[in-house]
Amino acid sequence: MKRSRPFAIGVATALVLGASTIFARGTFESNLSSRLEAITKFTKVVNTVEDYYVDPLTIEEIINKAISGLLSNLDAHSAYLDKKHYKELQIQTQGEFGGLGITVGMRDGALTVIAPLEGTPADRAGLKAGDIILKIGDKSTLDMTLDEAVNLMRGKPGTKIKLTIFRKGEPKPFVVEIVRDIIKVDSVYAKHIIDDSVLYLRITNFDKKVVKDVKKFLKQNRQAKGIILDLRNNPGGLLDQAVQLSDLFIDKGVIVSQKGRIESENRVYKAHKAGTLKDIPLVVLVNAGSASASEIVSGALQDHKRAVIAGEKTFGKGSVQVILPITDDEAIKLTIARYYLPSGRTIQAKGITPDVIVYPGKVE
Q: Which residues make Cβ contacts (< 8 Å) with residue 269, sequence separation at least 6?
A: 243, 254, 255, 256, 257, 258
Q: What is the CATH number of domain 188-357?
A: 3.90.226.10
Specify the CATH superfamily of domain 96-182: PDZ domain (2.30.42.10)
**From residue 272, how far is each of 20, 147, 243, 266 by CA, in Å?**
49, 37, 11, 20
Of 330, 335, 270, 321, whose CA–CA distance to 300 is shortest?
A: 270
User: What's the confidence (pLDDT) of residue 27?
Assistant: 55
Among the ranges given (95-109, 156-170, 349-363), the one the predictor scored with the smallest mean pLDDT: 95-109
Contact 284, 301 (CB under 8 A): yes
Q: How far apart are CA 237 and CA 294, in angstroms?
A: 8
What is the rounded average pLDDT for all residues in the chain?
Answer: 88
Residue 72: count of CB within 10 angstroms of its CB: 20
Q: What number is the average pLDDT over the span 253-282?
A: 93
Give the residue-averaged pLDDT of 67-78: 93
- Alpha carbon distance 141, 182 (integer Å): 24
pLDDT at 2 over 90: no
29 band by pLDDT with thresholds 50, 70 and 90: low
For CA atoms 5, 10, 13, 18, the dihedral sign is negative
Rounded to whole angstroms, what are the CA distances from 219 to 61, 212, 213?
A: 57, 11, 10
Residue 21 has pLDDT above 70, yes or no: no
* Secondary structure class of 197 (helix, strand, coil): coil
The pLDDT score that the predictor gives to residue 68 is 94
Picking from 267, 108, 119, 239, the residue whose alpha carbon sits closest to that of residue 183 is 119
Residue type, 199: L
How does residue 87 score in pLDDT terms, banded at 50, 70 and 90?
Answer: confident
Quick one: average pLDDT of 245-274? 95
Cα dihedral sign for 46, 47, 49, 55?
positive
- Among 66, 77, 84, 137, residue whose Cα is nearest residue 103: 77
The reported pLDDT for the residue numbered 185 is 72
Confidence check: pLDDT of 363 > 50: no
| Per-residue pLDDT reduced to its tens digit, 152-197 | 998 888 999 999 999 999 999 999 999 999 887 778 999 988 777 9
Determine the Cα angle at 263 with ends 86 and 247, to 5°.
85
For 65, the 3-state DSSP assignment is helix
Report the pLDDT value the prediction gives residue 98, as an integer from 0 to 100: 72
Distance (Å) of CA 351 to CA 16, 287, 318? 47, 10, 8
Domain ranges (residues) in the chain: 6-88, 96-182, 188-357
Render pLDDT for 219-246 as a digit per residue (tens, 0 to 9).
Answer: 999 889 999 999 998 999 899 999 999 9
pLDDT surpasses 60 at 1: no
pLDDT class of 97 with cuts at 50, 70, 90: low
Q: Is the pLDDT of residue 209 over 60?
A: yes
Q: Where are the beta strands (DSSP E) in 84-211?
A: 98-99, 102-107, 110-116, 132-136, 139-140, 160-166, 174-179, 181-182, 188-193, 198-203
- For position 4, what pLDDT does the model report? 46
Q: What is the DSSP letter of 225?
A: S
Same fold, 96-182 and 188-357: no
312 and 359 Cβ atoms separated by less than 8 Å = yes
Residue 346 is classified by DSSP as B
pLDDT tens digit sequence for 105-152:
888 889 999 888 888 999 999 999 899 999 999 999 998 888 889 889
Render pLDDT for 246-256 as a digit per residue (tens, 0 to 9). Answer: 999 999 999 99
Q: Which residues are catalytic?
A: 292, 303, 317
